A = this chain, B = another copy of it.
């Protein structure tokens, strides 16, 4: 495959940094451009960025000049990955799509747009059908991945929904600080504390799950009919969203059957050879006190969803814990996996420069 030239929108933020880090030595993609707000534009990437990861950015990116988020400035890119904030994304992503760019976005701006696929590759790769068929010289489009508190849940529910029919879901989240980005909560508000509110998050969980687990039918996504009730909390962890789930199923099942359904879940992706895909997207832990954010978030390089404590529920049918790395699986890694999926299926092709 031809190496594709990637432009990163919002490259200086936390998700942008994760994208830069994950694209080092990527076999299919290379970072051709980094773009950010007016404030950063014109500076070297290393200087414009308050870098938060322990491995430094590669020199090849560190030396790039940050561009403005304008389609004309990214003309040498074949695809753009967007880590823009929602408000900005709402304005800019359509401009890139209209200019013919494939836009693979982590933002929430268009997740509920009926023409935009909201994709977790292992779960609903077929939703790309919303885009029609891939063409060699195609118009631009937008593809999104879900909110960081939704992705792990969607992966864990996928086999359970397929095998037992998930009908009701009460989920209480304990979300990591990195989910709020570089402008996240002050330490003074978080040490010895829990913040029991994340603006818009509960609504996102409730809305996005139904679309992801829905069925593509004659060019439209029929939402899965699952009642979802979310309680969202920010805790003093750096990475890894932990979620306590009670769920009600359509069909009878045992703890063992749930565990087997989760453990044996495989997607077609493995055969497609996507570099970021894990053989088994879900690992089930047997210990009574796992998963734990710090110990388990890096499972599978942060791409594996870890489930534990599967047990009966006295109110619905079962209880279990889901952990996934919000900044990897739930953001940069999820975006990149979408890009890989699109590339493997022929949606990404070298653009001719103007």
Nearest neighbor of A312 in chain B, beta-carbon distance: B229
Chain B residues within an 8 Å CB radius of A309:
196-197
Please tell me if the beta carbons of B185 and A229 are within 8 angstroms of each other in the complex. Answer: no
Task: Given A54-B296, A190-B191, verify A227-B314 contact (CB < 8 Å).
Answer: yes
- A169 contacts chain B at the CB level, 8 A cutoff: yes
Contact among B184, B289, B315 for A195, CB-based, below 8 A = B289
Please tell me if the beta carbons of A229 and B315 are within 8 angstroms of each other in the complex. Answer: yes
**B-facing residues in A170-206 (Cβ within 8 Å):** 170, 172, 174, 177-178, 180, 182-197, 199, 206
Task: Given A187-B189, A229-B313, A244-B172, verify A235-B196 contact (CB < 8 Å).
Answer: no
- A231 contacts chain B at the CB level, 8 A cutoff: yes
Scoring A174, A289, A315 by chain B CB atoms within 10 A of each residue's CB, the highest score goes to A315
- A268 contacts chain B at the CB level, 8 A cutoff: no
Q: How many copies does the complex hold?
A: 4
Nearest neighbor of A289 in chain B, beta-carbon distance: B197
**B-facing residues in A211-252 (Cβ within 8 Å):** 227-229, 231, 233, 235-238, 242, 244, 246, 248
Name the interface size band of chain A: 35 or more
Q: Known contacts A182-B186, A184-B186; can you find 5 more A-B pairs with CB under 8 A?
A: A54-B295, A180-B188, A192-B192, A196-B242, A233-B242
Binding site for B on A (CB under 8 A): 14, 52-55, 168-170, 172, 174, 177-178, 180, 182-197, 199, 206, 227-229, 231, 233, 235-238, 242, 244, 246, 248, 288-299, 308-309, 313-316, 319, 321
What are 25 contact pairs spanning A and B, CB under 8 A? A14-B188, A53-B295, A54-B294, A54-B297, A54-B298, A170-B246, A174-B174, A177-B187, A177-B191, A184-B188, A185-B187, A186-B186, A188-B238, A192-B236, A193-B295, A194-B237, A195-B292, A196-B292, A197-B289, A199-B288, A228-B314, A229-B246, A229-B314, A231-B319, A231-B321
